[in-house]
């Protein structure tokens, strides 16, 4: 009698039991990738007042955030930016209803009118509220709100500290200062809470100025102590050791100054002077190139190295490319379809949706699928 013995085709290798330091599949995308993408989206929405396009882009940005954010503390900040965005719209609406200058068109309702005396510049408060005014306010404030949400998205997706770690060497000392400043704020809050709690132990009887000094002085003393300890720690671990004592060459300095001026001028021309896009872009581009060269040259005197820098791979290129494409599409739309991008204020009309707008929103949404997932234990 023969027995059939099942043969295992491929030996099954059991996965090792995960321990607390097992490295999990996945990685976070380079912080500068996210910042480039978010700034691209922000520039794109800054070119339009079309509510449909604004809504589409914000939806795309939020989708990307929800799909790729980690469980880290900074990832929760997107909610705060949403609140800020709503506040912007609310404040603008309040002023439009009370002070606002736009009073023509379809009247929705009329607020009681108050004429201020002549010394207050004769402003009149209240009056008729029109559909046009409300729509204009929502779309104009909505543009700013959408830009805020884009910046919030960058904050939520990229650890600000890691972003600062990846600056060119020339800005290294600056980034260290910023990182330390970032950590001082929570420390000040922590020691403030501790000292206030300690005040109660002494009865907390003092009031007024004395009560303020009673909290502020120990908190500041604490902060100074801490910063001295930190400085001692950094010094004894070799901070600034590779710093070449030579000064940055005069040529490099002049070049950097000129480059920054070019960047400023170019930005100003691009945004402020209509019809001179080419000259502006030229100045901006030239300035950026000169800045990069200058930073590289002045960065040579500091020989710090980077431990496990965030890799820059194709997902980052795609993310950055999405941001650039969004700007390009928005620019093309603004050039060829000005009425669709900036709908006329009156008469009030349903905003038109150009097919390229849908493409723009889709492009902004691409990073939600084109980037790797962060590791499971960080999600």
Partner 1 sequence: MIRFDDVTISYPDSPPVLSHASFIIPDGDLVVVVGRTGTGKSTLLGAINGLVPHFTGGTLSGDVVVNGRSTRDHRPRDLADVVGYVGQNPLAGFVTDRVEDEIAYGMEQLGLPPVTMRKRVEETLDLMNIADLRRRPLLDLSGGQQQRVAIAAVLAAQPRVLVLDEPTSALDPTAAQDVLAAITTLVHDVGLTVVLAEHRLERVMQAADQVLWLPGDGSAELGPAREVLARADVTPPLVELSRTFGWPQVPLSVREARRHVTTEGIVLDPPHPEPTRERGRTALQIEKLGVRYGDVLAVNDVTCDFASGEITALMGRNGAGKSSLMWALQGATASSGTISVTTGSTSEDPREVTAGRARQLVSLVPQSAADLLYLHTVEGECAQSDRETESSGGTTAAILTRLGADLDPQRHPRDLSEGQRLALVLAIQLAASPGVVLLDEPTRGLDYAMKAALRTILTELAASGTCVIVSTHDVEFAAQATTRTVVLADGDIVADGTTREVCTSSPAFAPQVAKIFHPLPVLTVAEAARGLR
Least distance to partner 1 from the beta carbon of 312, Å? 14
Q: Choose between 176 and 288: whose C-beta lies nearer to partner 1.
A: 176
Mention every residue, 6+ apart, whose C-beta is less than 8 A from residue 112.
126
Q: What angle do CA 297, 299, 300 make, to 5 degrees?
A: 75
Q: Any contact of residue 18 with partner 1 (CB under 8 A)?
A: no
For residue 331, give Cα distances in angstroms to 221, 263, 268.
Answer: 53, 19, 16
- The stretch among 41-49, 209-217, 317-325, 346-354 that binds partner 1 (CB under 8 A) is 209-217
**Rounded CA separation 17/19 (Å):** 6
Least distance to partner 1 from the beta carbon of 332, Å? 42
Q: Choose between 213 and 336: whose C-beta lies nearer to partner 1.
A: 213
Least distance to partner 1 from the beta carbon of 156, Å? 17
Site string for partner 1, 152-181 (x = CB under 8 A): ---------x--------------x--xx-
Q: Choose between 12 and 205: whose C-beta lies nearer to partner 1.
A: 205
Closest CA to 157 of 376, 373, 324: 373
Q: What is the DSSP letter of 25?
A: S
Q: Choose between 72 and 324: whose C-beta lies nearer to partner 1.
A: 72
- The stretch among 44-52, 191-199, 244-252, 329-337 that binds partner 1 (CB under 8 A) is 191-199
Q: Any contact of residue 296 with partner 1 (CB under 8 A)?
A: no
**For 135-151, b where at least 16 C-beta lie within 10 A, e where not — what string?**
bbbbbbbbbebbbbbbb
Binding test (CB under 8 A) with partner 1, winner from 11, 238, 272, 275 = 238
Site string for partner 1, 303-322 (x = CB under 8 A): xxxxxxx-------------
Mention every residue, 6+ apart, whose C-beta is less than 8 A from residue 203.
none
Q: What angle do CA 198, 202, 205 make, to 5 degrees?
A: 110
Q: Any contact of residue 231 with partner 1 (CB under 8 A)?
A: yes
Q: Any contact of residue 197 with partner 1 (CB under 8 A)?
A: yes
- The stretch among 195-203, 287-295, 337-345, 357-365 that binds partner 1 (CB under 8 A) is 195-203
Q: Which residue has the tokens 């990069």?
A: 292
Mention every residue, 6+ apart, whose C-beta is less than 8 A from residue 151.
38, 39, 42, 81
Least distance to partner 1 from the beta carbon of 175, Å? 12
Q: Choose between 130 and 191: whose C-beta lies nearer to partner 1.
A: 191
**Rounded CA separation 83/76 (Å):** 12
Q: Where are the alpha helices (DSSP H) in 202-239?
A: 208-236
Q: Choose between 315 and 375: whose C-beta lies nearer to partner 1.
A: 375
Confirm if 138 and 93 have CB atoms less than 8 A apart. Answer: yes
| Residues in region 33-72 near partner 1 by CB under 8 A | none
Q: Any contact of residue 226 with partner 1 (CB under 8 A)?
A: yes
Q: What is the DSSP letter of 112?
A: E
Question: Phi-psi region for residue 221, left (φ > 0), alpha (ψ -120 to 50) or beta?
Answer: alpha
Binding test (CB under 8 A) with partner 1, winner from 205, 246, 275, 355 = 205
Binding stretches for partner 1 (CB under 8 A): 19-21, 161, 176, 179-180, 183, 194-195, 197-198, 200-206, 213-215, 217-218, 221, 225-226, 229-242, 303-309, 377
């Amino acid at each position: 009698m023969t027995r059939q013995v099942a043969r295992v085709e491929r030996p099954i290798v059991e996965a090792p039991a995960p321990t607390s330091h097992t490295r999990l599949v996945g990685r976070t995308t380079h912080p500068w990738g996210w910042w480039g993408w978010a700034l691209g989206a922000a520039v794109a929405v800054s070119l339009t007042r079309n509510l449909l396009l604004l809504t589409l882009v914000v939806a795309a940005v939020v989708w990307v955030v929800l799909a790729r954010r980690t469980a880290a503390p900074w990832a929760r900040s997107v909610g705060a930016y949403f609140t800020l965005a709503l506040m912007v719209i609310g404040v603008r609406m309040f002023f439009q209803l009370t002070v606002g200058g736009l009073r023509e068109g379809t009247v929705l309702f009329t607020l009681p009118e108050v004429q201020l005396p002549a010394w207050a510049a004769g402003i009149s408060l209240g009056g008729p509220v029109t559909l046009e005014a409300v729509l204009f306010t929502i779309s104009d404030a909505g543009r700013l709100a959408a830009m805020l949400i884009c910046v919030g998205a960058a904050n939520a997706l990229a650890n600000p500290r890691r972003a600062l770690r990846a600056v060119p060497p020339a800005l290294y000392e600056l980034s260290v200062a910023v990182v330390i400043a970032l950590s001082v704020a929570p420390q000040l809050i922590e020691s403030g809470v501790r000292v206030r709690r300690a005040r109660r132990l002494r009865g907390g009887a003092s009031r007024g100025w004395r009560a303020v000094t009673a909290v502020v002085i120990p908190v500041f003393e604490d902060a100074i102590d801490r910063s001295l300890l930190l400085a001692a720690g950094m010094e004894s671990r070799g901070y600034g050791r590779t710093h070449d004592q030579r000064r940055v060459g005069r040529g490099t300095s002049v070049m950097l100054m000129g480059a920054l001026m070019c960047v400023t001028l170019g930005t100003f021309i691009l945004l402020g002077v209509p019809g001179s896009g080419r000259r502006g872009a030229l100045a901006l581009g030239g300035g950026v190139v000169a800045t990069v060269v200058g930073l590289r040259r002045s960065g040579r005197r500091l020989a710090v190295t980077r431990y496990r820098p965030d890799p820059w791979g194709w997902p980052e290129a795609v993310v950055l490319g999405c941001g650039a494409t969004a700007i390009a599409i928005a620019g093309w739309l603004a050039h060829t379809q000005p009425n669709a991008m900036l709908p006329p204020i009156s008469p009030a009309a349903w905003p038109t949706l150009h097919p390229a707008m849908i493409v723009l929103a889709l492009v902004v949404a691409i990073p939600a699928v084109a980037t790797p997932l962060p590791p499971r234990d960080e999600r």
